[in-house]
């Protein structure tokens, strides 16, 4: 497990299936100031597509994503 990017808040959505990891991330991002970084940990393989699409459509920056043995990590920077 790495900590590739500094983050302000970490959300562990492990064990949750689509669309819950994304919904919980959206709720957490709503609490954050612009420029803050949210790290999300998920185990749902569909989250890869979801987080890429969400970042693009919502205007947030997907700073990094990792896939390590079925654990997916995302670092989202709020616009």
Give me the active site residues, please.
18
- Cα–Cα dist 25/8, whole Å: 13
Q: Which helix (H) or strand (E) holds 33?
A: none
- Cα–Cα dist 77/54, whole Å: 12
């Amino acid at each position: 497990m790495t900590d590739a990017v500094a983050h302000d808040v970490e959300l562990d959505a492990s064990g949750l299936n689509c669309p819950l990891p994304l919904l919980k991330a959206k709720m957490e991002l709503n609490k954050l100031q612009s420029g803050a970084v949210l790290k999300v940990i998920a185990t749902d393989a569909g989250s890869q597509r979801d987080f890429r699409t969400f970042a693009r459509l919502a205007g947030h920056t997907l700073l990094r994503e990792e896939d390590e043995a079925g654990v997916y990590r995302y670092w989202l920077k709020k616009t």
